[in-house]
Amino acid sequence: MQITKPIQIVLTVAVLLLAGTAAAHYALSRSGSDTEHGWRVSAIASGNQVTLTRKRREKVFKLCGVDIPEGFAKEAEDALRSILPRNQEIFLVRSGRDRGSVEVFVPQGEGENLVNVELLIRGLGRAIKPKDCPNGIALENAEQIAREAKLGIWKRSEIELQSHSPLFILMFP
């Protein structure tokens, strides 16, 4: 996929803004009980699930607020593998409602990169129940940026995307 220069600029600015939002939340929550340090990547379980290890304990976590459509599962898994190499140390923040649902942060220089946002901004998924995630606004913004840039799942028309939903199929067989 070739991305034009204007789209690259928009995406770069968007990533920086979203990273700032996530970093601000992370800095505020760093001392909170919901932030957990010392986890390492063991494996990528699926396009929106990671297997992490800490103190010899392994656990599978779902990325908070990220839904990966079936047709993009392999691409999302590959993206996660490139963002989260095996044994990468990460920080996580658990969702307020679903404790198995997390936001994953990768240290990047002086800041952190929010993996959940990275997948959405690449157009590899949809933001679902973002209000349940600590950085829900960043997730919604990342999806919107990918939609406007017509990346990944958003390359298709809205009608085509809706036609894959169960409700649309029931209404228009």
Q: Where are the domains of the chain?
A: 5-154
5-154: CATH topology is OB fold (Dihydrolipoamide Acetyltransferase, E2P) (2.40.50)
Mean pLDDT by 10 residues, the chain (173 residues): 67 61 49 77 96 96 96 96 95 85 94 96 94 93 97 76 51 47
pLDDT at 130: 84
Structure tokens at 33: 């009980």
Q: What is the DSSP letter of 41?
A: E
pTM of the model: 0.74
Given this model, what pLDDT does residue 131 score?
A: 86
Residues 6+ apart with CB under 8 A from 107: 89, 90, 91
